[in-house]
Amino acid sequence: RIKLKHGSHREGKRTDSVMQKWRGNGLGQFIHWGLYAIPGGEWNGKQYNGAAEWIRSWNGIPKSAYDSLIYKFNPINFNADEWASIAKNMGAKYVTITTKHHDGFCLWPSKYTSYTVANSPWKKDIMKPLVDAYDKAGLDVILYFSIMDWNHPGWRYDIKTKADSIAFEGFKKFTRNQLIELLTMYPKAKGLWFDGTWDKSWVKQAKFADELEAEMRKLRPGLIIGSRFRADEYGKRHFDSNNVLMGDYEQGWERKLPNSIADVHGNDWDCVMTIPENQWGYNKAWKGHIKSSNELIEMTAKAVSLGGNFVLNFGPKGDGSIRDEEKKLASEIGDWMKVNSEAIYNCEYSGLEKQDWGYFTKKREKDKVYLIIFNTPVSGAYRVKLPAKTAIAKSYLLTNPNMDLRVEEVHSNEYFIYAKPTTEAKPFVIVLDTKKKENNGGNNYEKAK
């Protein structure tokens, strides 16, 4: 172990109730909204083929033209309650909302820059109605904040000269002021989701960032901050130089999922995911592979089966409305969650060996295991291997708890559960009530002949 002053200050999962609640959320909504939603990936009839929220970085749009989009921000169809109800009906338990993306435009009336909603035709604060609407709908709010800020004159990608260093000191103060401002103006926020922290200029600020994280945690006890915020004094990010997770959960799973429990190193984590291949902000072109609700439900199940949360991104249009394709997916996911969310909420990694038919989840602090079935074997038999001391007390479809399913013990601690797949091509859930095995090792079920 090497001595670190600015490495991780905590090992293992947080056990406090705020983190327990976060851990049990299972499904969240991400919102990417800002000036980039106005061009929507297109400028002067030309398509930007990168991610729409990065259009400012494209040489197809003059930077000054992009920056002047502030004078076009007037989302007449913005309805915070509608966004919150879409998320609630999808079955999301929390939302992560961009307060400021890389372009530096602030969705709140920050005192520390003029590049905010206050100086747009809209004039009003966007964050307050959003935080209040999601809170009223019963969803926790996490604030996304990009450290990298293309609008601030003090931003630098690296610090090479004395002038860079002086400019960046001003930028650091500005950043600290904005973060304290956000936590003060929106005290209901449960956490911060940091982005834009990969450049050398910020990676070199181990001491400053460590002290800033401490200041934020002191101001907001219980605040949830992920592994992406700060690097240690050797520039190590996400995991410090002793390979200990930075922050409260791992934020490395962007548009990808871990494949096995070994990939998550016993940490909390979230996976943030786009519906198209790689568009976070609104893009007029709804092209390439658009994930179906079945795919997104499977990603949610996989994430929860490996002890993480799945956070699905929505990119509202420049006028503040949410596109129909996203609303349709949210309601399809919600239809499934209305029936099956018992296998998602407050569930965790089961410790059981993955089987081909789908994913196991386990209810926290309960002897209840869920089989979320995506691939029905032609045999109609679902294989389950249990630890030696665990027996099956009861097995049934989540949608029909009064009808016991046939269970056959094919070897010791290995069973086939027989169930007819549901008629429509949608995943379904088998529940196992487990119990400790009596010492005679007897099961209630027939032994293999």
Ligand X SMILES: Cc1ccc([C@@H]2N[C@@H](C)[C@@H](O)[C@H]2O)cc1
The residue ranges that bind ligand X (CB under 6 A) are 32, 51, 53-54, 195, 254, 272, 280
- Considering beta carbons, is residue 202 or 428 the nearer one to ligand X? 202
Tokens coding 427: 């995943």
Q: Is 118 helix (H, G, I), strand (E, B) or coil?
A: helix
Q: How far is the CB of 281 from ligand X (least distance, A)?
A: 7
Cβ atoms 240, 246 nearer than 8 A = yes
Q: How far is the CB of 52 from ligand X (least distance, A)?
A: 9
- Considering beta carbons, is residue 25 or 146 the nearer one to ligand X? 146
**Cα→Cα distances 380→82, 248, 359, 444, Å:** 42, 41, 16, 21
**Nearest residue by C-beta to ligand X?**
280
- Considering beta carbons, is residue 96 or 341 the nearer one to ligand X? 96
Cβ atoms 310, 28 nearer than 8 A = yes
- Considering beta carbons, is residue 51 or 70 the nearer one to ligand X? 51
CB contact set of 253 (below 8 Å; sequence gap of 6+): 269, 270, 271, 272, 308
Q: Which of 96, 34, 369 is nearest to 249 (CA)?
A: 96
Q: Which residue has the tokens 């996989």?
A: 302
Cβ atoms 368, 347 nearer than 8 A = no
**Cα→Cα distances 362→189, 236, 382, Å:** 28, 34, 17
Instruction: Determine which helix (DSSP H) or strand (DSSP E) holds 428, and give its type and residue range.
Output: strand 428-436
Q: How far is the CB of 49 from ligand X (least distance, A)?
A: 14
- Considering beta carbons, is residue 32 or 302 the nearer one to ligand X? 32
Q: How far is the CB of 122 from ligand X (least distance, A)?
A: 22
- Considering beta carbons, is residue 97 or 405 the nearer one to ligand X? 97
Q: How far is the CB of 107 from ligand X (least distance, A)?
A: 14
Cβ atoms 256, 272 nearer than 8 A = no
**Phi/psi of residue 250, nearest 5 degrees:** -85, 130
- Considering beta carbons, is residue 32 or 220 the nearer one to ligand X? 32
Tokens coding 390: 């665990």
Q: How far is CA 305 from the centre of its chain?
A: 15
Handedness of CA 64, 65, 68, 70 (dihedral sign): negative
Q: Which of 22, 132, 139 is nearest to 89 (CA)?
A: 139
Q: Which of 334, 342, 405, 388 is nearest to 369 (CA)?
A: 342
Strands 347-348, 358-363: parallel, antiparallel or unpaired by DSSP? antiparallel
Q: How far is the CB of 30 from ligand X (least distance, A)?
A: 7
Q: How far is the CB of 251 from ligand X (least distance, A)?
A: 9
- Considering beta carbons, is residue 100 or 236 the nearer one to ligand X? 100
- Considering beta carbons, is residue 150 or 286 the nearer one to ligand X? 150
Q: How far is the CB of 80 from ligand X (least distance, A)?
A: 20
**DSSP character at residue 350:** -
- Considering beta carbons, is residue 193 or 428 the nearer one to ligand X? 193
Long-range Cβ contact pairs of 215-220 (< 8 A, separation 24 or more)? 215/176, 215/180, 216/179, 216/180, 216/183, 216/192, 219/180, 219/183, 219/184, 220/183, 220/187, 220/189
Q: How far is the CB of 224 from ligand X (least distance, A)?
A: 16
